[in-house]
Amino acid sequence: MARTCEIAVVVGMPGVGKSLFVQQLALIAQQEGRSVHLLQWDVTRRAFETNDILARYPDLENGETHPLIRKAVGMWSRSGVLQWHREYGNSGHMLIVEAPLVGNRLVEISQPADDEAELVLAGSRSRFILPVPSVEVRREIGRRRAETSLAPRHSREASDAPPNLLDEAWRDLYQIGRSLTLADNHQAFPEFDPDVYEAVFERILRHRATTVLRINEVLEGKGSVYDLDGIVSEVSANPTEARDIILHLESKFTLDELDTHVDQWHRVE
């Protein structure tokens, strides 16, 4: 993938190793002589978190980004990918996207749509990557997340989801698995289940070329997974794009409609 993909999208809920695979994929691509660009939820959303926008759409009580901002970032992401492709496609450059999808975080790039971006996202040089850790690896990720929450080694680690939110994300996803008849309705809430996790995401990603990475080994590394040099650009909306998308959503949806829409992020036609 580091040699042949133009766009690689690493997906998954918090605490499955996405950031490590983004880092390692970028390093391998650079070693192959490619120029790497990033589009990441935690970075890209900042363009939509201006003082003016946050005054109208502040974070929720649990710290989550407001649904309208989540929807706006996702809508922009399709045009952001298309703009990047027009400028850098077929030129030795690579775009790596880190997209949680859960909770409507960049989920729009996984959904089919009748636009020019679809030709790129569903094209032969785009690949979605789903890391699926074993129970033991997932448990170790949680343990290490607890350590870095207390003593971050990088500024971005301070904003990583803490262990309790990792558990909450899994509970929510397991409930989605039940609603999609991919998980046992009669079983008590289990510890992380790789099979259910993979099945839910494969259903969501059924319109995308997807590679599943089953992770059964704890990968040791030095420093932080966010340590990465030589990135050409971090793709993000400009102020005009952010403002226009916010205005569009305000004119098209009520906040209640957006809440419902975002809650149904996993529904794919």
Considering the domain boundaries, does residue 73 fall inside one? yes
Considering the domain boundaries, does residue 25 fall inside one? yes
The sheet carrying 210-215 orders its strands as 210-215, 126-133, 7-11, 93-99, 35-40, 233-234
Report the 3 state secondary structure along 111-175.
Answer: CCCCCHHHHHHCCCCEEEEEEEECHHHHHHHHHHHHHHHHCCCCHHHHHCCCHHHHHHHHHHHHH
Considering the domain boundaries, does residue 54 fall inside one? yes
pLDDT in tens, 25-63: 999 999 999 999 999 998 999 999 999 999 999 998 877
Distances (CA, A) of 69 to 106, 127, 140, 168, 251: 11, 26, 32, 21, 14
Query: Percentage of the chain with pLDDT > 90?
Result: 75
What lies within 8 Å, CB to CB, of 105 at 6+ separation is 41, 65, 70, 73, 74, 99
Domain boundaries, position 160: 7-263
In the chain the first and final C-alpha atoms are separated, in Å, by 28
Domain at 124, CATH number = 3.40.50
List beta partners, residue 39: 97
**Mean pLDDT score of the chain:** 91
CA distance 68 to 58: 10
Residue 198 burial class via C-beta count within 10 angstroms: exposed 0-12, middle 13-18, buried 19 and up: middle
pLDDT in tens, 3-35: 999 999 999 998 898 989 999 999 999 999 999
CA distance 212 to 132: 7
Query: Percentage of the chain with pLDDT > 70?
Result: 94
Considering the domain boundaries, does residue 43 fall inside one? yes
Considering the domain boundaries, does residue 192 fall inside one? yes
How many structural domains are present in the chain?
1
What number of CA atoms fall less than 13 Å from residue 125's CA on the CB side? 16
pLDDT in tens, 215-265: 999 877 677 777 889 999 999 999 999 999 999 999 999 999 999 989 999
Structure-block tokens of residue 91: 């030129």
CA distance 243 to 249: 10
Considering the domain boundaries, does residue 1 fall inside one? no
Residue 128 burial class via C-beta count within 10 angstroms: exposed 0-12, middle 13-18, buried 19 and up: buried
Considering the domain boundaries, does residue 96 fall inside one? yes
Considering the domain boundaries, does residue 183 fall inside one? yes
